[in-house]
Chain A
Amino acid sequence: MSESAQPVGVTLPQREDSHPEHQIEREQERHLLLDPRPAQEMAERVLRPLGRGSASYWIALLILGGAVVVAGLTWLYQMYWGIGITGLNRPVMWAVYIANFVYFIGIGVAGTFISAVLRLLNFPWRAPVTRAAETLTVFALAASGLFPLIHLGRTWKFYWMLPYPNQREMWPSYHSALIWDMTAILTYLSSSVLFAWLAMLPDLGLARDRFEDGWRHTFFKILAVGWRGTERQWRTLKAAITFFSLAIIPVMVFMHTIVGWDFAMAIQPGWHSSVFGPYFVSGALLSGVAAVIIIMAIVRKTLHLEYFLRPEHFDGMGKLLLVFSVAWAYMYFNDFLVPWYGQGPTEKVIQRLFDRGYATPLWLLMLFSNVLLPWATLWSRRLRTSVPVVAAVSTFVQIGMYLERYLIVAVTLGRNELPFDWGSYIPRWPEILITIGAFSLIGLLFLVFVKVFPIIPLWEVQEGQMLRALRRIGAMVISTRAELE
């Protein structure tokens, strides 16, 4: 190949394997969207996990199911005896249950973010990730929605917080941040379910056609609501998804801001902070992205989806994680610096708990997990493309973000304006069992989900692959994008 064939201004890689065929292979290995396979094979890959589970699948199902049952019984036990069986006391009226609530809600923003924001911004690598993220949103919201109920003194009266015409002639008090919270969560949960379902429609149609009889056929037939893939249906679906993406982003931001307001609206020192809204949103995005990475790593390993979930996806998610870690650190710095500079008497006492009190190990571990570790590792592409490294960092971010919520709720509440009302909190077995149960519940729902639904959005992957192609211009291989839209 003569040198004159090169376009002006383009330098070719001068390595041994710069042969165009090898270049194509390398590009295809790296990017899912440049590596299309026949439709039959793709469908096979996506729908294969939907069969019978292996022995380890059933064992995992049994363990997680057992933990959920134990947590449910603990909840009943708590309802029977009273909140007194937990470690709560007079100043610390909220602790692990509310920390769990905030934590799981935080994970719940991930789906919307990855699915809606990245969809609108047209990030090509998001395609195989969206469904796992949307599913995680729904399950995490379901788990988090349980905690305000578990935490109630009289759980069986929870419906008094719902606005419905009743004999008491009372509406719930919209002065209370808890009611804003409930409204926001119910809105977000219902729109997330709809969003996940919309984005699944073409795949549900595919699954319906692949399973020709049995309960799965009927099941998918109902869920696919007559999806045939006609031109008109595609156009409607695209419009609906774009509309939903645009509409759900503000809902997500508002919802987590309101969760921050649950605390910021109170006059408890350490809570009463105007930065809590955006601070909570950034924390939620950080923990949510990390949770999706963990789910991706687990799904990739256990369902053998290495073809779909490639290092490039972990690379992209790793970049997001780094960005949100920086954002969170900035917000946390704001939230810490202002009270520290002000040296208010109670704020000082609370901050002393963090930097040289009993909460110091937790505080340092939080800063290490949320800031130091992501910043030290995720700047490097080599580390970002290693699945175990990114998954490990994400696990630490989960620990860090959980601790952050715990410090805000359970530790801060122990100090207030009048020193004789101070106290501290140690969780007891009901909180621990119920927390384990909540994590297990999400795992359990995921286990069931991956056996019933395709976890990879096949149509989005295929669409991306059709739009993209590798072209050879002389010795040069470039990835191109079809201008269909």
Chain B
Amino acid sequence: MALPNRNWTMVVDLDRCTGCGACVVACHAENNVPIVTEEEVLRGRAMHWMHIERYWDGEYPDIRARFIPLMCQQCERAPCEPVCPVYATLHSQREHLNLQVYNRCVGTRYCQNNDPYKVRFFNFFDPVFDEPLEQQLNPDVTVRSAGVMEKCTFCVQRIRRAEEQALVEDRRLEDGEVVPACVQTCPPGALIFGDRNNPQSQVSKLLANNPRSFRLLEHLGTEPSVYYLRGGESHV
């Protein structure tokens, strides 16, 4: 039985994001993202599939902190895909996902160069999980070795599990059944995830004629699947 087409979409409501960083922690725990040392972070090798960028708006004293959560934008026309010589990163036409096959990667790092969002992370060394973190590695996700590129997958293991469950029970996948770790964790509910092919899904409703919605670096024509909702006057 063929699985139905999906258009997995993430909506980030910047009005709700408080920059707390819970999504970052959740992502690390779910996806076995290694925690690099302070020295490595200073070298510019921090690894967070999901990270929050903070920037300042205005001049002191009338200044305001803005946050923008950044993860792989799962582009429809992803610049990182065609440059890979070994198909380690490729497109899923059915799910509109940008897949990453870790054990196929040889580490040319071309995809990261060609990624305008810089949301791909390279394993400069073998990952180290300090005690007791090595006890809680997620068995559904590969632990990547040195020399391999990795990135946010929209928690593809959760998508797969939910979809297979629905298939076994011979029913439709309901909206809200697939919840990536960051979405599950976000305290103010700034992250919303769902299938845009389903007109009844929350994301479809949110994005219908929403004047606040925009996509990052839209002028590049990458057609990301992550939509941001513009923040208004609220600030921290």
Chain A residues with CB under 8 Å of B145's CB are 154
Instruction: Tell me whether A120 is interfacial, beta carbon within 8 Å.
Output: no
Q: Cα distance A457–B69 when bound, in Å?
A: 65
Bound complex: CA of A170 vs CA of B114, how far in Å?
23
Q: Is the CB of A268 within 8 A of B85?
A: no
How many angstroms from the CA of A84 to the CA of B47 in the assembled complex?
A: 13
Complex-state Cα separation, A157 to B147, whole angstroms: 10
Whether, in the assembled complex, A383 has its beta carbon less than 8 Å from a beta carbon of chain B, the answer is no
Offer 27 A-B interface pairs, CB within 8 angstroms, sorted by A.
A81-B125, A82-B123, A82-B147, A83-B124, A88-B124, A90-B45, A90-B122, A152-B106, A153-B146, A153-B149, A154-B106, A154-B145, A160-B86, A172-B85, A173-B82, A176-B82, A176-B84, A177-B83, A178-B83, A266-B79, A266-B83, A266-B110, A267-B114, A416-B116, A417-B116, A418-B217, A420-B53
**Distance between Cα atoms of A267 and B126 in the complex (Å):** 30
Q: How large is the interface on A (under 10, 10 to 19, 20 to 34, 35 or more residues)?
A: 35 or more
Interface residues on B, range: 35 or more
Please report the number of residue pairs spanning A and B whose Cβ atoms sit closer than 8 angstroms.
133
A82 to B149, CA, bound (A): 12
Question: What residue in chain B is nearest A84 (Cβ atoms)?
Answer: B124
A88 to B109, CA, bound (A): 11
Residues of B within 8 A of A420 (CB): 53, 55
Say yes or no: A154 contacts B107, CB within 8 Å.
Answer: yes
User: Is B113 a contact partner of A94 (Cβ separation < 8 A)?
Assistant: yes
Asked if B94 is an interface residue, CB under 8 A from chain A, the answer is no
What is the CA–CA distance of A178 and B110 in the complex, to the nearest angstrom? 9
Contact B118 A84 (CB under 8 A): no
User: Chain B interface mostly helix, strand, loop or mixed?
Assistant: loop
Contact among B104, B110, B113 for A160, CB-based, below 8 A:
B104
- If the complex has contacts A153-B106, A179-B85, A267-B79, are A418 and B116 also in contact, measured as CB distance less than 8 A? yes
Query: How does the 8 Å CB contact mask read for B89-116 relative to A, with 1 for contact and 0 for none?
Result: 0000000000000001111111011101
B interface with A by C-beta (< 8 Å): 40, 43-46, 53, 55, 79, 81-87, 104-110, 112-114, 116-118, 121-126, 145-149, 217, 220
Dominant SS among interface residues on chain A: loop
User: Provided the pairs A81-B125, A83-B124, A90-B44 are in contact, do residues A153 and B83 lie with their beta carbons within 8 angstroms?
Assistant: no
Closest to B53 in A: A420
Task: State the Cβ distance, A341 to closest chain B Cβ, in Å.
Answer: 19
Q: Give Cα A154–Cα B55 distance, bound, in whole angstroms.
A: 36
A175 on interface, CB distance cutoff 8 Å: yes
Residues of B within 8 A of A151 (CB): 108-109
Closest to A178 in B: B85
Tell me if B83 and A176 are in contact (CB < 8 A).
Answer: yes
Write the nearest CB–CB distance from A222 to chain B, whole angstroms.
Answer: 37
Say yes or no: A417 contacts B112, CB within 8 Å. no
A residues with CB within 8 A of B: 81-84, 87-94, 148, 151-155, 157-158, 160-161, 168, 170, 172-173, 175-179, 182, 265-268, 413, 416-421, 423
Contact B124 A82 (CB under 8 A): yes
A262 to chain B: closest residue by CB: B110
A418-B51 Cα distance, complex, nearest whole Å: 14
CB proximity of B168 to chain A, nearest CB, Å: 29
Q: In the complex, are the beta carbons of A154 and B105 less than 8 A apart?
A: yes
Given A82-B147, A177-B83, A416-B116, does the pair A94, B125 have CB atoms closer than 8 Å? no
Q: Assuming A153-B109, A154-B105, A154-B106, is B114 touching A84 (CB within 8 A)?
A: no
CB contact under 8 A between A158 and B117, given known A84-B40, A90-B44: no
Contacts of A160 in B (CB 8 A): 86, 104, 106
Q: Given A82-B147, A152-B106, A154-B148, is A266 in contact with B113 using a C-beta cutoff of 8 Å?
A: yes
Instruction: Please give me the residue from chain A that is nearest to B87 by CB atom.
Output: A173
Given contact pairs A82-B124, A89-B43, A151-B108, enumerate 14 new A-B contacts (beta carbons under 8 Å).
A82-B147, A83-B124, A83-B147, A89-B45, A90-B45, A90-B118, A92-B44, A94-B109, A94-B113, A158-B106, A173-B86, A417-B217, A418-B217, A423-B44
How far does the alpha carbon of A188 sit from the alpha carbon of B44 in the complex, in Å?
A: 38
Query: Do B86 and A84 touch (CB < 8 A)?
Result: no
